[in-house]
Structure 1
């Protein structure tokens, strides 16, 4: 088909969470960040396009703006190339790379054997840009394609499109800060030669709000916000590598103390399992075993089998907290004296505020996501009431919170009791949400 025109869109974004896009190398960590030949991190266009395509719900053999391939009823190859081209994401400034330590824990909150790992990531706050090019051919429905692009932008802005690894545990979230588009046709086709020069874009004609207004369609996730106040300190350790620093410091990102999505998920998963066991002991008949229910809600990886988590937990910044450095030592319970070599220095943060943000994937059957919402909200109520602690050293009062405002669900307050009541009354309908 003859090309009628091209539309190039310049998109500037900012990371609102750490980003981990692995190169497959393990020279510095178990998972190094992808870099170009100059050592600059970047995100491939294929990663961006894949996230966009998944959000639109288009399969590889399903016709759409982003192309398809497959076979007809006669088993002949059919397909169409993508009308949308997505460039690599390039950072506008020097990024700050960090290393996150991780370890798998058992039910007793002790490390599993040979489960320690570390990954390299780009810290939140970095600004970057990429280009999208829409090629309009004869017979194409330009309006429909523009609608899909607007929906993609809305998915990014709502946090439902993320990139890289650990997306369900707080990584890979970013937001749009500037969008500008230009059309190229017969009258100005020579200008297309400079369409991908960053100097071409004036950056004084932000079309972001217009694009978001043009978006249609319901959200694919239910979004929850839980405002909390810390009742003491918190200890999610990262291990200092520089001389003169404390031996253990609480986790920070771009200089700000944070609660990692994986730490919060671990606490919520453990509490949810406890609640299910209590329900079973009280005589409630569960349709599936507890392990299967937990795996459906929080995801799992078991060899070649896996299920993506239906609960997405953001990394949360701790605001207005005071840093506190203390010197501690291990004490022998038999001698009531300090253990030899057990003296260490620790830096924590106390008396802060935090807003937890979580999302639950919606299912075609509302009952499926409804029971996940109910179980999750029960666990969040325990967290809000100080019955559930997060992080390490919880036995000495770390990681305890109190409510700092009402829970909101898609911007509405006082609805958690409805979800909890429906979950308890419809327990027999649980199951079915597996992808």
Structure 2
């Protein structure tokens, strides 16, 4: 008798088809792998219909990574008994097991494209490096993808419960907006949420259930916004092993700000602050890439002032991701995550400027240009969120020093800092440190009407984080 593994039945007794409306909340890039066009990094589109394409492989990878981190923590691996390996399959040497979750490719709408510029900044001169500028295409925020997946449940009750729990955790991450997709998702791109779930279960042990599945009958489909309820999962069974420090801060604008955008209307000024489309409107934004670049440059300057350049580089590369200077350099992901946020209620004004000849003191011919920064007015706020995954105390201390520099206006954001642009005034900040699954520290920092700062929470602990940074980098 042949007892080969591939001849054994998987004993599938139930199939669950899950559909959802996935809405992009920030611009998103799904790569094409073809860089021969007019744009350096073009989008992936379906070649037949020209619609945006979200591949099942890309969505599956994001769900698998989220479930692994939720179950074991950032940077940790599990074994074959782990939820993520049971759900998504595993492969060790020449042996492995196929995934019981089938995730389909999804076509969105015909793409409404945003073009963005990227540039590498020299830390010493704070200017753009030569031959380090590139552009890329992004799918506009608000684009909808109808995602679909199918879970195959085996006869064994214990494994069935593990599969349902693992799927519920992963899909809950999409529902809460904790999973980002595509390129530069640690810099604010690819944020998304599920608007509504549709779940239909088919019992394959009965003729009715089998026929309904073959006919794709949706009469018993359930709809809702809570995937745990639709799958019958108790939220008390979820234990989050991710440890993270989060800073949510709100600032007012002190003067003006400009993050240059290379693409705007034909009759626009020569330079315009970066805008992004939200619900059909062009809204000024603070990009996660610009914020991260400013934070990295200032963090390196602080670390280098206290310690050696070698120690400073090592710490900054670990926190912000490795700086790739040659093909031999090994890449690593950033522990620090930034978001892209709308700037509320700014004032748009056009200014005309000229370039002055430094020798004669007169204006240079043909050097007249106009620009449109955003200016402060009543109600203008700049908000952003910064997170550190699995943080060290010294890294938290460094982020607190960066917050101080932003709060006092010493760290400008965007371009033209030398003429006073990009400076902020701190209004409030909420700091949260999830140190373990049952320990969480919370602080609130508020600017009072008399200009003084009020700190709610354990101030000594914050001071200790800064001391750990200074002691670690100076040792």
TM interval, shorter chain, is 0.7 to 0.9
How far apart, in 2, do the equivalents of 1:308 and 1:249 lie? 31
How far apart, in 2, do the equivalents of 1:203 and 1:321 lie? 43
**Could you list the runs of 5+ residues in structure 2 that have no partner in the other structure?**
1-9, 70-76, 434-441, 445-455
Shift of 1:18: 1.2
Shift of 1:85: 1.3
Matched residue of 2:58: which SS?
A: helix
How far apart, in 1, do the equivalents of 2:265 and 2:161 lie? 55
Name the structure 1 match of 2:87: 65
Matched residue of 2:364: which SS?
A: strand
* 1:11 aligned onto 2:20: yes
How far apart, in 1, do the equivalents of 2:220 and 2:46 lie? 24
Instruction: Map Cα deviations across residues 104-144 of structure 1 (whole Å, 9 max, x no partner).
Output: 11011111121010011112222222012110012262222
Contact 2:168–2:227 under 8 Å retained in 1: no
How far apart, in 2, do the equivalents of 1:416 and 1:123 lie? 42
Name the structure 2 match of 1:353: 381
How far apart, in 2, do the equivalents of 1:20 and 1:201 lie? 36
Shift of 1:417: 4.5
* 1:147 aligned onto 2:162: no
How far apart, in 2, do the equivalents of 1:398 and 1:203 lie? 53
How far apart, in 1, do the equivalents of 2:39 and 2:219 lie? 38
Which has the higher Rg, Structure 1 or Structure 2?
2
Identify the match of residue 189 of structure 1 among 207, 210, 214.
Answer: 210
Matched residue of 1:426: which SS?
A: helix
What pairs up with 1:253-402 in 2 under 5 angstroms?
A: 253-254=276-277, 255-280=282-307, 289-302=311-324, 303-304=327-328, 305-351=330-376, 352-362=380-390, 368-402=391-425
Instruction: Map Cα deviations across residues 230-272 of structure 1 (whole Å, 9 max, x no partner).
Output: 1121110012354222111111110111111111111111111
Instruction: Map Cα deviations across residues 23-68 of structure 1 (whole Å, 9 max, x no partner).
Output: 0123131110110012111111101111111122286984421111
CA RMSD of aligned residues (A): 2.7
Contact 1:61–1:70 under 8 Å retained in 2: no
Shift of 1:423: 2.6
Matched residue of 1:14: which SS?
A: strand
Matched residue of 1:177: which SS?
A: strand
Shift of 1:154: 3.2
Name the structure 1 match of 2:192: 174
Matched residue of 2:429: which SS?
A: coil
Shift of 1:156: 2.8
CA separation of 1:200/1:170 partners in 2, compared to 1, >3 Å: closer, same or farther?
farther
Matched residue of 2:307: which SS?
A: helix
Matched residue of 1:407: which SS?
A: strand
Tell me the TM-score normalised to structure 2 length. Answer: 0.80
Contact 1:267–1:390 under 8 Å retained in 2: yes
Instruction: Map Cα deviations across residues 176-211 of structure 1 (whole Å, 9 max, x no partner).
Output: 22112110123232332464x9x9898854434736
Tell me the TM-score normalised to structure 1 length. Answer: 0.87
